[in-house]
Chain A
Amino acid sequence: MIDEKHVYVLIGNRIKELRDKKFSQEELAKAIGVSRASIANYESGKQAIYISDLYKIADVLEVDIASLLPSIDQIRLQSAEEKLEEVTNIGETARKELEDFIKNTQGGDAS
């Protein structure tokens, strides 16, 4: 269930978020000794990040390594949302029916 793609995308999001506050991609790249393109690919999740680079980035950004790592729940959720969208691609009629049902369902003793 843990989708590799989501692992790297979510790590990349974290890096970008924290890096943006302090450095440009260029600056971070120089600080950890990789190319700017690598940082760009790490941040977009296109490239699997080396664990050693992850540590270097945490060090340069002065954050705890854990703050760069998404929880398993977050990764699962990311996958689930994507997959649910796929499943939601059902016929227009069924979709409409479902939306109406949800709209008309009220709390309380509906069971």
Chain B
Amino acid sequence: MKISTTATKKAKKLLAQAGVNLDSLDVSGGCSIDVNKIAEDVLKITVVPHPFTNEISGVFFKKDGKLFIGVNSTHNDKRNRFTIAHEIGHYLLHAGEALHYDDSSKLPLVAAYFRSDNVANEVEREANHFAAELLMPAELIAKCVEANIKSTTALAERFNVSEQAMTYRLVNLGYL
């Protein structure tokens, strides 16, 4: 895949910072990564649910020196988990230096929308890749497969992600 390994590295680093130990984690009790907690506790990003129109899944921005992720409260929990992870990806991968400027007159300084079907550009693809790495670490999927949890449905349930997201992940990792 052409996508940089940066997304993978940043996701792994973030999991480590959040105290998620991929080597010792017991997968039998479920593998749902607490992405809200990671956003709020580790990264100090406030997650704000809001009933956006359907085409907006999430937005990341900085205001008055504080970081925010808005998520569409009309979408289901699994989708919102992915959206939050995706927006964290924008923050860690794409926002970098832009956040050093704090010009409140320029409103959405770093605002990224995520339309469900619009993954045509690299930045969005990379954020999706990051989200997949964060929510479905390859190591944990491997452990589940070893423990004979192999169906997409069962894996999606275990990781608390949509079947669609899990399907993409399994394809990318070469399981499907």
Do chains A and B stick together as partners?
yes
Q: Report the separation of the CA atoms of residues A50 and B108 in the bound assembly, to the nearest whole angstrom.
A: 38
CB distance B122 to A111 under 8 Å? no
**Chain B residues with CB under 8 A of A102:** 59, 61, 63, 68, 70, 107-108, 111
User: Which of A84, A107, A110 is within 8 Å of B94, CB to CB?
Assistant: A84
Tell me whether A21 is interfacial, beta carbon within 8 Å. Answer: no
Nearest residue (CB) in A for B49 is A111
The count of chain A contact residues (Cβ–Cβ below 8 Å) is 29
Q: Report the separation of the CA atoms of residues A109 and B66 in the bound assembly, to the nearest whole angstrom.
A: 11
Stretch of A27-35, A57-65, A87-95 that contacts chain B = A87-95
Tell me whether A25 is interfacial, beta carbon within 8 Å. Answer: no
**Which residues of A, 85-108, contact B by the 8 Å Cβ criterion?**
86-88, 90-91, 93-94, 97-99, 101-103, 105, 107
User: Which of B6, B46, B96 is within 8 Å of A77, CB to CB?
Assistant: B96
Q: Report the separation of the CA atoms of residues A79 and B126 in the bound assembly, to the nearest whole angstrom.
A: 12
Tell me whether B87 is interfacial, beta carbon within 8 Å. Answer: no
Q: Return B71 CB to nearest CB of chain A, in Å.
A: 11
Nearest residue (CB) in A for B50 is A101
CB distance B121 to A86 under 8 Å? yes
How many A-B pairs have beta carbons closer than 8 Å: the answer is 97
**Chain B residues with CB under 8 A of A73:** 96-97
Q: Return B89 CB to nearest CB of chain A, in Å.
A: 11
Q: Report the separation of the CA atoms of residues A111 and B97 in the bound assembly, to the nearest whole angstrom.
A: 26
Q: Report the separation of the CA atoms of residues A56 and B6 in the bound assembly, to the nearest whole angstrom.
A: 32
Tell me whether B165 is interfacial, beta carbon within 8 Å. Answer: no
Tell me whether A66 is interfacial, beta carbon within 8 Å. Answer: no
CB distance A98 to B111 under 8 Å? yes
Residues of A whose CB lies within 8 Å of any CB of B are 1-2, 73-74, 76-77, 79-81, 83-84, 86-88, 90-91, 93-94, 97-99, 101-103, 105, 107, 109-111
Residues of B whose CB lies within 8 Å of any CB of A are 3-4, 6, 40, 46-48, 50, 52-53, 55-56, 59, 61, 63-66, 68, 70, 93-98, 107-108, 110-113, 115, 118, 121-124, 126
* A-B contact list, 6 entries, CB within 8 Å: A80-B95, A94-B56, A99-B108, A101-B59, A107-B65, A111-B47
